[in-house]
Structure 1
């Protein structure tokens, strides 16, 4: 009903899952992915959270891998969604070497679609000389900014050596310097896919 009322289009995939503790408590996460949006909630939740991809103002994620005695035990994936109307929600699920993580499956599907809905507005802002905020980073026509107050610093595009996601951090390195210029966690850089796309375009002269 939520998907129909919100005009989310046809159903692409429906799935459910969670940790063994969630299953034991009958608190497994149910996910329904549609062409234009998704509906997520606990299997016994009376009011699941639904959102269209073009309604998302910010989308962030974090992956944490668990090891015990150097043996991999699973990954916890957390996603945060903020909508233009002020609503927000957090999704979290754990995987094991034997079981898939439904939140990770959701992230892989919705992330590029959210970015596709956001990028035209972001490109237009940059062409008009405006900056676009991405949490810990602010991306402008001439370079990147991070920090606030006395700790604020700027890096021109010509000074950027690389921007990459490494071990859960969004790492920026400055040309000619060994030390990392900045490296906030992925959770601190919402709309990460759109951010990386704009960085590639800006460094190539396309923005």
Structure 2
């Protein structure tokens, strides 16, 4: 469904989507512009201005009485320090770019203010991965969510809870990419091809890992537990394969197809 949000999309993204014929917009997220923290900035400026005024008066008095204004140099530095820090905060707030990411019918756009939009059609995206990290201080817990879009060429697009509307956007984008890859990889397997998921491979006959191969009729189950991928062989106590799951490309697609192929080849059922 097209995106019904009232978010005003920057014209740079709209023009890029039109030029590359990405179709309707499905969702948009963006970082919030940096805002000045007046509760910190005002005290810094007031303290720095007062100290600088006091230091200048002291320097003039030292110059008049002793002929050595530099006796008050430490006071001058004490006054200039807060003012320099306040200026740095203002410049950093004004110069920090805002990041926009748009999910469209036929791909994804990232736009960083002041730059040219980056457009990636679905075929130009290698993987989309999600990671939920639970953090706790012993009393209060929270979950930090991230979503990374990895193009075939170009820098990864990293998003997190810092982006407005991130949770729904991440769900929709992940689902759209997974469904598309699922259709593509299913067609390849039906054509007799082997599909590589970086560390492991699927083919119509079984699962491959390096120089090892396990036929589907011998696969008891394929699962992920505690961030590890386990492939269990029928009748074996130890997993046939146990490796970290995070490096596996399009893990959700891999697991879905592995389960489908395992069921098709289970004993007593004719494979199709």
The TM-score range, normalised by the shorter chain, is 0.7 to 0.9
Q: Does 1:112 find its partner at 2:175?
A: yes
- CA shift in 2, pair 1:78/1:110, >3 Å: closer
Q: Equivalent residue for 1:193?
A: 252
**How far apart in 2 are the matches of 1:66 and 1:45?**
34
- Partners of 1:143 and 1:156 within 8 A in 2: yes
Q: Which has the higher contact order (CA 8 A, sep 6+)?
A: 1
Return the TM-score normalized by structure 1: 0.73
- CA shift in 2, pair 1:41/1:72, >3 Å: farther
Q: Provide the alpha-carbon RMSD of the alignment.
A: 3.2
Secondary structure, counterpart of 1:183 in structure 2? strand
1:1-207 equivalence runs, <5 A? 1-17=15-31, 26-42=96-112, 44-53=113-122, 55-56=123-124, 58-70=126-138, 71-83=140-152, 87-95=153-161, 102=166, 105-146=168-209, 148=210, 152-180=211-239, 181-186=241-246, 188-205=247-264
Count of equivalent residues: 192
Which has the larger share of helix? 2
- Partners of 1:76 and 1:92 within 8 A in 2: no
- CA shift in 2, pair 1:72/1:32, >3 Å: same
Question: Any idea what the Cα deviations from partners look like across 1:76-102, whole Å, max 9, x if unmatched?
Answer: 41414233xxx2331223438xx8672
Rg bigger for which structure? 2
Secondary structure, counterpart of 1:164 in structure 2? strand
Q: Equivalent residue for 2:74?
A: none
- Partners of 2:135 and 2:144 within 8 A in 1: no
Alignment gaps of 5+ in structure 2: 1-14, 36-91, 265-270
- Partners of 2:29 and 2:165 within 8 A in 1: no
Alignment gaps of 5+ in structure 1: none
**How far apart in 2 are the matches of 1:48 and 1:165?**
37
